[in-house]
Amino acid sequence: MSQSIFSYFAWGIALIALQVLVGNHIHIGGVAMPMFYLYPILILPSDTPRWVLLISAFLTGISVDIFSNTPGLTASALLVVALLRPVILQVFAPTERGDDALIPSVRTMEWSGFVRYTSAVCLVQATAFYFIEAFGFFRLGSILLSIVATTLLSVVLISAIEMLRMRKA
Section 90-115 average pLDDT: 84
Predicted confidence at residue 1, as pLDDT, reads 45
Q: What residue numbers bound the domain in which 54 lies? A: 2-168
- Other Cβ atoms within 10 Å of 32 Cβ, number: 20
Predicted confidence at residue 8, as pLDDT, reads 79
Chain-wide mean pLDDT for the chain?
Answer: 88
Section 112-133 average pLDDT: 95
| pLDDT over 60 (residue 13) | yes
- Cα radius of gyration rounded to whole Å, the chain: 15
Residue pair 27/56 in contact (Cβ under 8 Å)? The answer is no
The predicted-structure confidence for 131-146, as pLDDT tens digits, reads as follows 999 887 788 889 999 9
| pLDDT over 60 (residue 2) | no
CATH of the domain at 115: 1.10.1760
| pLDDT over 80 (residue 31) | yes
| pLDDT over 80 (residue 33) | yes
| pLDDT over 90 (residue 10) | no
The whole-angstrom separation of Cα 55 and Cα 61 is: 10
What pTM was estimated for this model as a whole?
0.90
Backbone angles phi, psi at 10, to 5 degrees: -65, -45
Backbone angles phi, psi at 93, to 5 degrees: -70, 145
Lowest mean pLDDT: which of 3-7, 28-32, 87-91, 132-136? 3-7
Q: Count of domains in the chain?
A: 1
Beta bridge partners of 28: 32
